[in-house]
Structure 1
Amino acid sequence: MRSLGIDKLPQLNIDDLCMALGERRGRHIRLVPLQLPLGSPDGLWVSTKTEDFILFEQRLAPIHGRQVILHELGHGVCDHHATLVISPDASRLLLPSLNPEMVQRALGREHSQTEAEIEAEYVGSLLSRHVNSWTPNQTWEVPPELQELAERLSALEHPSSRKS
């Protein structure tokens, strides 16, 4: 956490923190609020070759949404890598329009009480010390293709939540 240097910055808002961490990672971090299907995770960190996306449930209470974003940023700070849960060939068969590498990064982490999840939560809590209060009226533009991607990824994690 000390190596991030954010303790030397004035109090940050979420966007400032994303910018500072994005500069450190050498890639832009985009926050994407979405209405995720019931039963899906409250947040997802999707990393591409050029950008990181933090998809989060927009209907959460502001303080909960803030912690979800900070948790996902924690995965980035800790440089957590996905574990293999779907092969590139299986990904091409199931999701032909999506890059198999991106699918692996999004679905590869376990969403349970693993060491990585606990570490991301802890780092997110430490990050919160440097962040101003959440701004509940802030809005972000969500491109339709990201909305569709989030729905498809969420349905893969929780097949019972798929629309019929």
Structure 2
Amino acid sequence: MVPLELPVGSPDGLLVTAEDQDFIVFEQRMAPIHQHQVVLHELGHFICEHEATPVMRPEASQLFLPSLDPELVRRVLGRDHTHSEAEFEAEYIGSLIGQRIGTWATQRIRAVPPEYQDLVARLSTLETPHTESEADE
């Protein structure tokens, strides 16, 4: 996971696959909920093994970006960021993962089995300090 300030007009996230490591780069200035969706979308590309499409020949890549491996440039810059089938599939997979892992809310509220409701109610009172006026009631 690599949060970065990405240039204006660039995608909000990128999946960068190298020989021995994979990276998800995402715009660090986005709202956390948007960051999560972008990361899940990029995980969708990874899970579906989407291939990048060539955007520049290796010779051109070496000319413009000599310090980078041409294959790496192709994989990072080559994916079609439009309304392609791969983009829809990655978004769908990301949404499914998001549903399975829960909400992005900072406060998680879960159903409490009836046999534990009294205990949870008593423990919950410890979280919220009472004011003097409430204590007198």
Structure 1 residue 37 displacement after superposition: 1.4
State the shift of 1:131 in Å: 2.2
Q: 1:84 aligns with which of 41, 47, 54?
A: 54
- Structure 2 residue corresponding to 1:73, chosen from 24, 30, 43: 43
Distance, in Å, in 1 between the alignment partners of 2:58 and 2:105 is 39
Higher gyration radius (CA): 2
Corresponding pairs, count? 106
Aligned CA RMSD, in angstroms, stands at 1.5
The one-letter amino acid of 1:127's match is: I
Question: Which whole-Å CA distance do the structure 2 matches of 1:117 and 1:69 have between them?
Answer: 13
SS of 1:86 mapped into structure 2: coil
Q: Which runs of 4+ in 1 moved over 6 A?
A: none
Higher relative contact order (CA 8 A, sep 6+): 1
Structure 2 stretches of 5 or more lacking a match? 107-137
| Corresponding residue of 1:58 | 28
Identity of aligned residues (%): 59
- Confirm or deny that 1:128 pairs with 2:105: no
CA shift digits 1:67-97 (9 cap, x unpaired) = 0000000000000001111111111011000
Query: How many angstroms apart in 1 are the aligned matches of 2:67 and 2:22?
Result: 19
Q: How far off its partner does 1:133 sit?
A: 4.7
Say yes or no: does 1:109 pair with 2:79. yes
* Post-superposition offset of 1:130: 2.5
CA distance in 1, matches of 2:105, 2:29: 14
Q: C-alpha offsets along residues 142-164 of structure 1, whole Å, 9 cap, x if unaligned?
A: xxxxxxxxxxxxxxxxxxxxxxx
TM-score (normalised: structure 2): 0.73
Tell me how far 1:106 sits from its aligned partner.
Answer: 0.3
Distance across 1 between alignment mates of 2:13 and 2:38? 6
What displacement does 1:132 show?
Answer: 4.4
Give the TM-score of the pair, scaled to structure 1: 0.61
